[in-house]
Chains A and B, each alone.
Chain A
Amino acid sequence: MALIDLSKKEVHCKVVFYGPGRCGKTTNLLYIHKAMDEKDRGKMLTIDTKGDRTLFFDLLPLNLGKISGFDIRIQLYTVPGQVMYEATRRLVLKGVDGLVYVADPLKVRQERNIEGLEDLRRNLEKHNLDMLKMPVVLQYNKRDLCDTPVPTLTVAELEHDLNQELKTSYYEAVATTGIGVFETLTEITKKTVRYVAEKHLLTRV
């Protein structure tokens, strides 16, 4: 649910990083936090367990400059990916405007990636949102693991598993070193702002 402040000329949007446990959602936010200039980002808030797993959510507020005279403020959230936290994921999705689905390339996580996307679709439906009509971008993370002996999924396999219906853009990434992270962020931001703008500013003004 975007917030459009006509008096300050600001648009606030909520973008959620979704995906199975340990796929690298928090790592994406940590990299963005580290790489961005302090004046363009707020404080990063994390609610995690002792073992680094997200317990509730992470939040990173960003200030992404002006589009058509409006200051664009994006709040990046992550959900806890572990299966048992489904109810928590649903709460974090409240008011979401755009989504990044982060997938894990490990062959042993193939089912988890697919289940995670189904979980997202279900949870969005509970908020009366249709995953196929929302801004969504896929991120195939941990591509560095493909150069190691552990069995991994090819991009073609990931596309087959996750992108047949969505038919959206995907980015290969290594969130730990930042490869593909800003490409993902730029694309989802563009899509989300366009979606919110088409809903409001253009139709109403």
Chain B
Amino acid sequence: MADFVITAQSQEKAGNLIVNALIKAGVKTALLIDSAGNVLANCGHEQQQIDIDAISLAALAAASLAATSQIAKLIGEDDFSLLFHKGKSGNIHFGRVGDELILITIFGDDVSLGLIRCRVAELADSLHNIFEG
């Protein structure tokens, strides 16, 4: 697995894409992480910014997704296509970006899961190109 080198340019590009596709659609926080648990981009809504511990979240999400895909293999699946947890007022969605990156989206009940899934899928290709292309 290759190391990731982030430049100001790649960060800005990725940040803009995420803000336009997700934050402007009402997502509270979006984090782009790698499968080792590093944070590549952290975008949030200024008014709705929630104080999250991004480092812990990234480590847990990377580990949890790695465990989840092992579980999928145990039951004969390649991977699960929907990775989502629903809370009382907050929800979290995990989307794979290429083999090595994960886009985490945290949003409230005012945003539909369908929209998130659609936007994340659209973003995945462009983000993949920026960092791994």
Contact = CB atoms under 8 A, between A and B. Distances in A.
A200 interface: yes
Interface residues of A, number: 31
B126 interface: no
A23 to B, nearest CB: 21
B46 interface: no
Contacts of A61: 55
Contacts of A88: 67
A43 B2 contact: no
A28 B4 CA distance: 28
Contact of A87 (B6, B36, B40, B70): B70
Given A5-B6, A6-B7, A94-B62, A45 B34 contact: no
A190 B36 CA distance: 20
A140 interface: no
A1 B70 contact: no
Interface string A56-85: 110101000000000000010100000000
B38 to A, nearest CB: 4
Nearest to B38: A3
A7 B7 contact: yes
A56 B67 CA distance: 10
Given A2-B3, A6-B6, A59-B56, A91 B34 contact: no
Interface in B33-71: 34-38, 40, 53, 55-56, 59-60, 62-63, 66-67, 70
Contacts of A45: 56, 59-60
A6 B34 contact: no
Nearest to B53: A43
Contacts of B8: 6-7
Instruction: Report the 10 A-B pairs with minimum CB-CB distance, sorted nearest first.
Output: A95-B36, A7-B8, A3-B38, A91-B66, A2-B3, A1-B36, A5-B6, A4-B5, A45-B56, A1-B1
